[in-house]
Every structure is written in C-alpha cells, then in structure tokens.
C-alpha cells in the first residue's frame, strides 16, 4: 500500500500527542491493530471510503470494532479523522504510524521472501547481515513464503532489495540468450 504524505502528517500528529501523554507504546500497539484489522477486513475499508455512510455511523462502527482494544488517545484520534472526513485514510495512517514508530525506536524491518520456510541458520545469517548493514539498530525479521521463486531468497531492507532467487536468475539467463550476438 502506498502511504501518502497526508497520512504521514496525521501519523506524526498522533505520535507527538502520544509522546506528550507518555502513551507512545500503547498508541503503536493500537495502530498496529488498526492496520491489521483494515488489512484483514476489506468490508471495513469499503465502509470507511463510502461517501454514502454518514460520519456518525462510521464513528459508531469504529467504536464497536475496536471497543476495549484501543486506548483513549487512539479512539479520540480516529474520531477526529472521521470528523475531518479523512476516515478513508485510516489504514494508511496506521501503517505510517507504525513505520514512524520503528524509525523513532531504531528498529529496522527486514522482509525475507523465500521459496520454502527459512531454517534457523539462514534466519541467523540474514539477521547478521542486516545488523552489519545497520549497526546499533534492532532487527525485526518478516518472513513470507512464495513457491514461485523456485529457490533462493529476496531480502528487502527499506528501499534496498537483494534478489537471490532462482526465478530471477532464470529471467536474467533468458534475457542473455535473447541478446544472442552470434546470429547469422
């Protein structure tokens, strides 16, 4: 999901407010819950984007969905977003907040896409490589399995990507054969 600059502004506002109140960790847990809920509930996202549903109904739905699971600051913040007509951006704001929190806490997320589940040895090796690249930062490993890779791994750290997959090597090989300079 692409996160817009406006979503980052809202996320920064919530971050500053929660820091002032000493509730930064609580707000991060809340926004992670909001992001996961929105990711797993397309109906909720559709409701938030709907211009037909009134703001008070959206506020009630959000209150019921997250009742007892989020803190007061996050609850009031979501109410403000609904009043401002920005409720459709809630999934983006939640994602932006989690990203900003990780930057604030010096946490680096390493995404590993592999053809098969990682072994402990490979997991340790990836973590060590990430630690060398980002010294002094905490590393969180996010693992996903994609059999289409055939073998190998794709590692993403921020904007950087290392593609050591077999499918990539086959694509490169195909491209080289297509550029055959020995044609008669």
Whether residues 92 and 139 fall in one domain: no
Q: H or E element: which one contains 9?
A: helix 5-20
Whether residues 23 and 64 fall in one domain: yes
**pLDDT at residue 128 greater than cutoff 90:** yes
Whether residues 96 and 111 fall in one domain: no
Whether residues 98 and 125 fall in one domain: no
Residue 53 in any domain: the answer is: yes
**Which residue carries 């007892």 as its tokens?**
68
**pLDDT at residue 135 greater than cutoff 80:** yes
Whether residues 144 and 97 fall in one domain: no
Whether residues 133 and 94 fall in one domain: no
Strand partners, 163: 154
Give me the number of domains the chain comprises.
2
Q: Calculate what percentage of the chain has a pLDDT beyond 90.
A: 77
Rounded CA separation 105/36 (Å): 20
What lies within 8 Å, CB to CB, of 116 at 6+ separation is 145, 147
Residue 183 in any domain: the answer is: no
Answer with the one of 75, 103, 131 that is the final residue of a domain: 103
Summarize the confidence of residues 80-100 as an average pLDDT.
Answer: 95
What lies within 8 Å, CB to CB, of 139 at 6+ separation is 107, 108, 110, 127, 130, 131
Q: How confident is the model at residue 3 (pLDDT cuts 50, 70, 90)?
A: confident
**Considering only 33-37, 74-78, 135-139, 158-162, which range has the smallest mean pLDDT?**
158-162
Angle value at C-alpha 24, between 85 and 97, nearest 5 degrees: 45
**pLDDT at residue 123 greater than cutoff 90:** yes
So what's the pLDDT on residue 184?
A: 62
For 180, the token pair is 């055959």
For 86, the token pair is 């920005």
So what's the pLDDT on residue 87?
A: 95
Q: 96: domain range?
A: 5-103
Q: What is the DSSP letter of 148?
A: G
Answer with the one of 71, 103, 135 that is the final residue of a domain: 103
Summarize the confidence of residues 42-68 as an average pLDDT.
Answer: 94
Whether residues 135 and 74 fall in one domain: no
Whether residues 18 and 93 fall in one domain: yes
Closest by CA position to 24, among listed 140, 127, 85, 102: 102
- In tens, the pLDDT along 22-37 reads 999 999 999 999 999 9
Whether residues 9 and 54 fall in one domain: yes
Q: Which CATH number covers residue 141?
A: 3.40.30
Whether residues 84 and 115 fall in one domain: no
So what's the pLDDT on residue 182?
A: 73
Count of beta carbons in the 10 Å neighbourhood of residue 89: 20
Count of beta carbons in the 10 Å neighbourhood of residue 44: 19
Residue 184 in any domain: the answer is: no
Q: Which CATH number covers residue 62?
A: 1.10.520.20
Whether residues 28 and 56 fall in one domain: yes
Rounded CA separation 34/4 (Å): 17
**pLDDT at residue 183 greater than cutoff 70:** no
* Sign of the CA dihedral running 119, 120, 125, 129: positive
Answer with the one of 103, 133, 156 that is the final residue of a domain: 103
Strand partners, 138: 107
């Amino acid at each position: 999901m692409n996160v817009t600059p406006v979503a980052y502004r809202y996320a920064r506002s919530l971050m500053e407010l929660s820091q002032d109140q000493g509730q930064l960790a609580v707000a991060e847990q809340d926004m992670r819950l909001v992001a996961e809920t929105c990711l797993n509930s397309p109906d909720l996202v559709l409701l938030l984007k709907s211009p037909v549903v009134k703001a008070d109904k959206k506020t009630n739905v959000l209150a019921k969905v997250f009742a007892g699971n989020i803190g007061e600051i996050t609850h009031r913040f979501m109410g403000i977003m609904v009043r401002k007509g920005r409720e459709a951006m809630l999934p983006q704001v939640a994602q932006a907040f989690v990203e900003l929190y990780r930057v604030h806490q010096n946490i680096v997320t390493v995404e590993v896409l592999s053809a098969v589940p990682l072994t402990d040895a490979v997991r340790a090796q990836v973590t060590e490589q990430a630690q060398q690249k980002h010294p002094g930062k905490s590393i969180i490993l996010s693992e996903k399995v994609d059999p289409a890779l055939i073998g190998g791994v794709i590692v993403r750290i921020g904007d950087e990507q290392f593609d050591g997959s077999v499918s990539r090597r086959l694509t490169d090989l195909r491209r080289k054969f297509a550029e055959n300079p020995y044609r008669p």
